[in-house]
Amino acid sequence: MEVAGLLRRRGLLAMTGLLLLFFISSAYAASPIGVVTGPKTGTYFAFGRDIAEVSKQVNVPLAIKASEGSIDNIKRINSTENAALGIVQSDVLGFLTRSKNPDSARAAHHLRVVFPLYNEEVHVLARRDIKSFAELDGKKLAIGEENSGNMLTAVNLFSLMNITPAVSKKISAEQGVVAVLRGELDAVVFVGGKPVRLFKNLEDLASPENPQYAKLLDNVHFLPLTDAKILAEYKPAELSKLDYEFVEENVPTVAVQALLVSYDFKQVRGAGRCEMLGTLAKSMRAALPSLKEKGHPKWKEVNLDADIGVWKKDACAWK
C-alpha cells in the first residue's frame, strides 16, 4: 500500500513537472526574440528591421534593439537580457578567443552563426610617409569609439601583427579622419562597406574650387593590408579609383563579414526558441529575393551560403 501510494505520488509529481515545463516552454516560445543590432542610423539596425518584417509573416516575433556595436552585442547576447540574436563582425570570434579574460572565451563558446550577411572593407587612412601597416607600431592612431566594430577590428589587427600604438584614440571615424588630415594623428582605422560616405566626401578636397585643401589630400593614402597573418583571418578585398577618386593605384585590403549570430539554443535553452529560430531561418531563405529587391541596398550582396570561416553554424537554423 505504501509502495503503491509512493508510486502514485511520484507519478503525480512527474506529471505536474511536465505540465509546468510545457507552460514555461510555451510562454518562452511566444515571447519576442530580442535582436541587438547597432546605432539606429546604421546598416545593422536597418537589416534588423528588414529581418523583423520577414519574421512577422511566419509569426516569429522579434524585438529589434539598437546597440553600440559588435562588442556591446556580444555582451548583451551573453547576459540575462532578452538578446538572443545579434549582428556582429566576423572578426569578433578571433578577438574574443585571443582575449586574456576567461569570460570572453566563454562568450565565444556560446555563439553560433545563423546567416552570413555582407562584407565590410577595412580602410586604414594614414600619412603618406607611412608605407605599411607594420609601420603603425609606436604611432598615434584613431581606432573608433568604445564598443564599436572599428575598435574591435583595430585591436584585433594590432594583436595579429604585434603592433603597439603610442596613442590609441577612441574617437569617431569622422574625428579620426580630420585629425589625420591635420597631422595630429598618424592613421585612422575604419570598417565599412565601400564606398563609404566618409571617404567619398574627401573627394571634395581635390575640387578646383578648394585649392587650399588639395594638399591635405595629397598627404594621406590608404595602407595595403597583405600580411599572411591577417589574410588567415580576413577575406581579401580591394580599394580602387572606382570607389574613391583620390586612390591612385588599387590598394589591397581585407574585409570582415557582418554575421547574424545567436546564442546556442540547441544545447542550453528550450526547444521552443530553437523551433522559432529554424522557422525564421527558413523564411529568410524564401524572402531573400524580395529583400534584394526591396530591402536595404546591402541585401544585394548577401549570400546565405557564403563561407563563415572558423565560426560554427547554428544547429537550429541549419538543421
| pLDDT tens for each residue of 193-252 | 888 888 988 887 766 676 667 678 889 999 999 999 999 889 899 999 999 999 999 999
**pLDDT tens digits, one per residue of 60-91:** 999 999 988 888 898 898 888 989 899 999 88
Reported as a pLDDT band with limits 50, 70 and 90, residue 183 is very high
Q: What's the burial of 280, exposed, middle or buried (CB within 10 Å: 0-12/13-18/19+)?
A: buried
For 135-256, CATH gives 3.40.190.10
Q: What are the extents of the domains in the chain?
A: 135-256
Please, are residues 293 and 286 in contact by the beta-carbon 8 Å criterion?
no
Instruction: Read off the pLDDT of each residue in 9-35 and give the average, rounded to a whole number.
Output: 49
Mean pLDDT of all residues belonging to the chain: 84
Instruction: Read off the pLDDT of each residue in 278-287 and give the average, rounded to a whole number.
Output: 94
Q: How far apart, in whole angstroms, are the C-alpha atoms of residue 84 and residue 90?
A: 17
Grid cell listed for 315: 544547429
Q: Provide the pLDDT for residue 298.
A: 86
Rg (CA), the chain: 24
Instruction: Read off the pLDDT of each residue in 279-291 and give the average, rounded to a whole number.
Output: 95
Three-state DSSP class for 37? coil
- How many residues belong to the chain? 319
Q: Which CA distances in Å does 280 have to 3, 284, 305, 315?
A: 49, 6, 16, 13
Q: Which CA distances in Å does 141 have to 131, 134, 156, 164, 189?
A: 15, 13, 14, 10, 8
pTM beyond 0.85, yes or no: no
Which residues lie below 8 Å from residue 309, measured CB to CB, with a gap of 6+?
A: 90, 233
